[in-house]
Amino acid sequence: MASTESLLLCCPFDYGGARVSQVAPCFGRSLRFPIWNSVHINTDSNPKNYRLRVKVQMQSNMMMKPNSDNKIPHVLTVAGSDSGGGAGIQADLKACAARRVYCSTVVTAVTAQNTVGVQGVNIVPEDFVAEQLQSVLSDMHVDVVKTGMLPSLNIVKVLCQNLRKFPVKALVVDPVMKSTSGDVLAGPSVLTGFLEELLPMTDIVTPNIKEASVLLGGVPLKSVSDMRTAAKLIHDLGPRNVLVKGGDLPDSSDAIDVFFDGEEFYELCSPRVNTRNTHGTGCTLASCISAELAKGSSMLSAVKTAKHFIEVALDYSRDMAMGNGAQGPFDHFLELKNINQSSSRQTRFNPNDLLLYAVTDSTMNRKWGRSIAEAVKAAVEGGATIVQLREKDAETRDFLDAAKVCLEICRSYGVPLLINDRLDVALACDADGVHVGQSDMPARLARTLLGPEKIIGVSCKTPEQAHQAWIDGADYIGCGGVYPTNTKANNRTIGLDGLKEVCQVSRLPVVAIGGIGLSNARAVMEIGEPNLKGVAVVSTLFDRECILTETRNLHALVS
Ligand SMILES: Nc1ncnc2c1ncn2[C@@H]1O[C@H](COP(=O)(O)OP(=O)(O)OP(=O)(O)O)[C@@H](O)[C@H]1O
Ligand SMILES: Cc1ncc(CO)c(N)n1
Ligand SMILES: [Mg+2]
């Protein structure tokens, strides 16, 4: 089973969402990225770069988009807290965050709960539920109210009073009664409140089959046909739309929900994901529906989007390991996961890796009749401590394929692999980072696109460029050409003095580059600047008959 990082947050609830919502960004591992303001990159010119496009799209989709009146779509959830973080308020916050909608919270109960079951329930006094409702609804613009656990009749009544006082665009009611573990979350007394007051105000009610049965006085639901009948009967109780959820329908190979809008029935069908991680599907579904309604969707399309979200999230989290009980939570932030995450390098950049920096060159490989992977393998075997693939004229597909093979080789030696210039290739193969020149993608944007974990290096000739690289969030600079070189046309040589000058102002570690070989590597390392960490070489390794021997020799010189 895949393991999952988790973080238990102990902080006071803030019903405005500010503090509680910290739960959300902690859950999806890749949510370590900052939330960017906006990224404008024209990726259309290169349709093959799907990863880059997905990431850019993902980042702009991560933003909450204001409505035409400049208001952020806002869902208020009135529900119970699940200490296990999988259902209730916690699921609602994550679902709304994943759907990019603001979520405030009125807590009706605090439960002690985990993947085994519900160990305790502490109901919040109705006066204090009323106080929370008043605080949020009197001050903030709320589009949709979503309810979950409403553990007492008085809480239902207080809620209805506030909804009458502060009308909202839509009311979504998830009539939570029992947890899947069988524990009671709301007793039969609340039923009166549901039937007499809440359901007639409701835009959509989303019972599971057991809850549908309770709402109808106990008739059991055993088939999709029973679910249709129930949907119609529940509609007669007042809500404008009904969704009877079939997640718990026995003997069904599909997860079928029945939607009824008072006129038409829709059977929403998705393959049943074979997983134990379904805790909180009901809360998440209702929150997603609410989020889509807050953004302005029609009811049917909100329901379809929500159902699809659950299907993909369950499938994505099917093997996630969390807790020892029968029903685990799932991951709402599937969109933000790196595809190759499990094989990713786990450690942050170590400046000492710059010691012997091998930069590949396709012309040289062609000349000597070897593949990029063969060249890289020989270099890392010889002692290269970091590798950069610099393939200026390779076709994207060939470059990507080669990069994947090289990455495997480098990972097996614990050597980081960077890609020159091509962020799309770096993203697509999950390389350890990129190296960019002054006319390539700006380092600041590269950082935005790659996130904080990846290594970013920048070619710099001047102290100003070195300073900028640091501001932009680079990890190291490549400084040169120190000596004249044929590898780069029209490259100005800065000499050892230029190198020294840049090292002295650079707040980043430096690797020297340009015309460095066995004859001068030691002189470079001996300029005596503590942040000069190594030498980067191209021809010295790759324009030679035996890369392995050359690398070993150079390694002996610099270490
Ligand atoms: N294994 C599964 N595969 C695919 N979809 C599922 C699965 N289990 C539940 N669903 C879907 O999840 C949504 C919630 O349904 P479910 O019947 O589980 O609600 P619930 O019992 O209220 O949830 P909760 O576990 O939060 O109490 C529905 O759209 C349902 O079809
Ligand atoms: C607090 C809470 N609300 C709802 C559910 C239903 O999944 C749960 N288990 N816990
Ligand atoms: Mg269920």
> What gap in Å lies between CA 72 and CA 294, rounded to an integer?
9
Task: Work out which ligand 1 atom sits closest to the CA atom of 279.
Answer: 25
Kindly name the residue from 283, 410, 429, 479 that is annotated as catalytic.
283
Quick one: pLDDT at residue 39? 28
Instruction: Verify whether residue 280 is a known catalytic residue.
Output: yes
Task: Note if 363 is an active site residue.
Answer: no
Distance 23 CA to ligand 2 centre (A): 16
Q: What is the DSSP letter of 198?
A: I
Longest dimension (CA), the chain: 90
Residue nearest to atom 30 of ligand 1 (CA): 247
**pLDDT score for 337:** 54
What residues contact 318, with CB distance under 8 A and at least 6 apart? 273, 274, 275, 277
The label of the residue with tokens 């994550």 reads 94
- Distance (angstroms) between ligand 3 centre and the Cα of 279 equals 7
3-state secondary structure of 111: strand
- Ligand 1 contacts CB of residue 82 (under 6 A): no
Closest ligand to Cα 247: 1
| The ligand 2 atom nearest the CA atom of 109 | 1
Q: Indicate which atom in ligand 2 lies nearest the CA of residue 281.
A: 7
Determine whether the shortest distance from the Cβ of 283 to ligand 2 is under 6 A: yes
* Residue 281 Cα to ligand 1 middle (Å): 5
List the residue whose alpha carbon is closest to atom 2 of ligand 2.
88
The verdict on the CB of residue 273 being under 6 Å from ligand 1 is: yes
Mutate to test the pocket of ligand 1, among 281, 309, 317, 318 (most ligand atoms within 8 A of CB): 281
Query: In the annotation, is 16 catalytic?
Result: no
The complex's ipTM works out to: 0.97
Q: Which atom of ligand 2 is nearest to the CA of 82?
A: 1
Whether the Cβ atoms of residue 472 and residue 447 lie closer than 8 Å to each other: yes
What's the length of the chain?
559
Count of C-beta atoms within a 10 Å radius of residue 132: 21
Question: Is the beta carbon of 150 within 6 A of some atom in ligand 2?
Answer: no
The pLDDT assigned to 548 comes to 96
Please say if 84 is a catalytic residue.
no
d(CA 333, CA 12): 24
E strands along 215-264, which residues? 241-244, 254-260
Residue 466 Cβ < 6 Å to ligand 1:
no
DSSP state of 467: H
Residues of the chain with pLDDT under 50: 1-7, 9-61, 338-343, 346
**CA–CA distance, 445 with 455 (Å, rounded to integer):** 13
Calculate how far, in angstroms, residue 245's C-alpha sits from the geometric centre of ligand 3: 8
282 is catalytic: yes
Give nearest CA residue, ligand 1 atom 23. 282
Is 17 designated active site? no
Beta-bridge mates of residue 477: 458, 510
CA of 72 to the centre of ligand 1 (A): 28
**pLDDT recorded at residue 335:** 58
Whole-number Å distance between alpha carbons of 495 and 510: 15
- State the Cα–Cα distance between residues 164 and 424, nearest whole angstrom: 52
Nearest CA to ligand 1 atom 9: 247
Give the pLDDT score at 344. 52
**Ligand 2: which residue has its CA nearest to atom 3?**
88
Q: Which ligand is nearest to the CA of 279?
A: 1
- 208: Cβ below 6 Å to ligand 1? yes
Q: What tokens were used for 445?
A: 């944007």
Looking at residue 251, its pLDDT comes to 79
What's the pLDDT at 491? 78
Is any atom of ligand 2 closer than 6 Å to the C-beta of 111?
A: yes
Rounded to whole angstroms, the Cα distance separating 299 from 203 reads 9
Would you state the pLDDT for residue 537? Answer: 97
CA of 179 to the centre of ligand 2 (A): 6
Residue type, 398: D
CA of 256 from ligand 1 middle (Å) equals 9
The pLDDT of residue 63: 58
